[in-house]
Copies of this chain bind each other. A is one copy, B any other.
Amino acid sequence: MAKVTAVSPFAPRSLARLEPLAGVRFATAEAGIRYKGRTDLMIAVMDEGSTAAGVLTKSKTASAPVLWCRKALKKGKARILVVNSGNANAFTGKKGTDAVELTAEHACAAVSCKPHEIYLASTGVIGEPMDAGKFAHLLEGLAGKAQADGFEAAARAIMTTDTYPKLATRTAMIGNVKVTINGFCKGAGMIAPDMATMLCFIFTDAALSSKVLQDLLNEHVETTFNCMTVDGDTSTSDTCLLFATGSAAERGQKSIDDAKSKKLSAFSAALHDLMEDLAIQVAKDGEGLSKFVTFEIAGAKSWEAARKIALSCANSPILKTAIAGQDPNWGRVVMAVGKAGEAANRDKLTIWFGPHCVARNGERAKEYDEKTVAAYMKNAEIVIRADVGVGKSSARVWTCDLTHGYVSINADYRS
């Protein structure tokens, strides 16, 4: 089988330019954990007083760094983030815990902080013991040379099978003060080889308590990263962390304690927008994809039900391969709606491929024209909508098609 090496056809023509953000500095290194000739270690050093929130994988076989973060998040404070690629330090038993502890020890020394102010993430091969000795000693030196202008380099250091770094930036007003949100993430779908998959790190200079950050993150992760799938597989390492350095307080931004406060609405919207941007960038780098696909489900009983039906479509191998084949096989949408287990009225079900209604009220639409819809399927970006006819809720999910490229990447990864 041919190796797939091409860059995703959806790689951005130019990367987002993330300006420095007061209170956080970055450094990267080539630690040689697995890759040669590229960076595989990054740190972010944050000023004292920085706050943190996070959402972590629900996997029952979560990695050692995930367990570390889960504990650290209880205090909601942050001084340093250490991320390596090349090894996920997942399913590594006591050795995994030892590696995490050794890394934390050096991180502690590097910025003179407490253990609960340290956040760790690892991405790469699973099940292989990680030798933290390869890089832990580098942390002090890295902290010394950390620079504010380092987002893109940091984003590159955490890549695994990603074909491009994923970056996004937004600004918003809190009261009269302009604040910035910068984020980057990695992931070639929910799954990169060996499961060390989606990592996302977002930084803002806003002054916000960890509780506010957590509430905002919980809310927005549902409609962004949790509405994106490549193959429906859940990683042992999924980590999304949101940090606030609070430097905007120096410019007069007053701290806000309630995530629902109207004063935060612009910030909340900007954060959502940034997370959606990053989620779409991940779906657009899905392994082996040839098409970016959006499923929009309307007429469901609840948003949760609509999302579940949309995910049932987005994770259906038989539907995703039909899309790869540019086949307007809408019958497979009927199947995927039916199998989702959520309420749907077969005899009111209406389906559109792009602007074309293909089925209405439980049967093929009268105006259905195979040639027209087949022509639409030649587009690189496909939108499939369905109204399931039982309620007023809707949801949207982003995914990609299932191609020979996906099989090649994942069948031949270690051969």
A contacts, CB < 8 Å to B: 1, 57-62, 90-96, 125-129, 191, 194-195, 231-236, 315-319, 321-322, 324-327, 329-332, 334-344, 346-347, 349, 359, 361-364, 402-404, 406-408, 410-415
| Nearest CB of chain B from residue A402's CB, rounded to whole Å | 7
Across the interface, name the chain B residue whose C-beta is closest to A58: B341
| Nearest CB of chain B from residue A383's CB, rounded to whole Å | 19
A60 is contacted by which of B96, B127, B343 (Cβ under 8 Å)?
A: B343
Query: Are B346 and A410 interface neighbours, CB within 8 A?
Result: no
CA A413 to CA B325, docked complex, whole Å: 8
Across the interface, name the chain B residue whose C-beta is closest to A344: B60
Known: A93-B363, A125-B331, A404-B404. 15 other contacts (CB 8 A): A58-B341, A62-B338, A91-B334, A91-B362, A127-B359, A129-B363, A195-B331, A233-B317, A233-B319, A235-B335, A317-B410, A321-B407, A327-B413, A329-B414, A403-B411
Per DSSP, chain A at the interface is: loop
Subset of 10 A-B contacts with CB under 8 Å: A60-B343, A91-B346, A92-B363, A93-B347, A93-B361, A95-B363, A127-B364, A234-B335, A327-B414, A329-B414
CA A236 to CA B234, docked complex, whole Å: 27
On chain B, the residues within 8 Å of A336 by CB distance are 233
On chain B, the residues within 8 Å of A91 by CB distance are 331, 334, 346, 349, 359, 362-364
On chain B, the residues within 8 Å of A414 by CB distance are 325, 327, 329
CA A235 to CA B235, docked complex, whole Å: 28
A327 is contacted by which of B128, B404, B415 (Cβ under 8 Å)?
A: B415
A233 is contacted by which of B335, B346, B413 (Cβ under 8 Å)?
A: B335
If A344-B61, A363-B92 touch, whether A335 touches B236 (CB-CB below 8 Å) is yes
A364 is contacted by which of B129, B194, B346 (Cβ under 8 Å)?
A: B129
If A95-B363, A344-B60, A364-B129 touch, whether A407 touches B407 (CB-CB below 8 Å) is yes
On chain B, the residues within 8 Å of A406 by CB distance are 317, 321, 407
If A127-B364, A363-B93 touch, whether A410 touches B331 (CB-CB below 8 Å) is no
Across the interface, name the chain B residue whose C-beta is closest to A343: B60
| Nearest CB of chain B from residue A54's CB, rounded to whole Å | 18
| Nearest CB of chain B from residue A165's CB, rounded to whole Å | 23
On chain B, the residues within 8 Å of A94 by CB distance are 363
On chain B, the residues within 8 Å of A404 by CB distance are 1, 404, 407-408
If A93-B363, A322-B411, A325-B415 touch, whether A335 touches B129 (CB-CB below 8 Å) is no
| Nearest CB of chain B from residue A404's CB, rounded to whole Å | 5
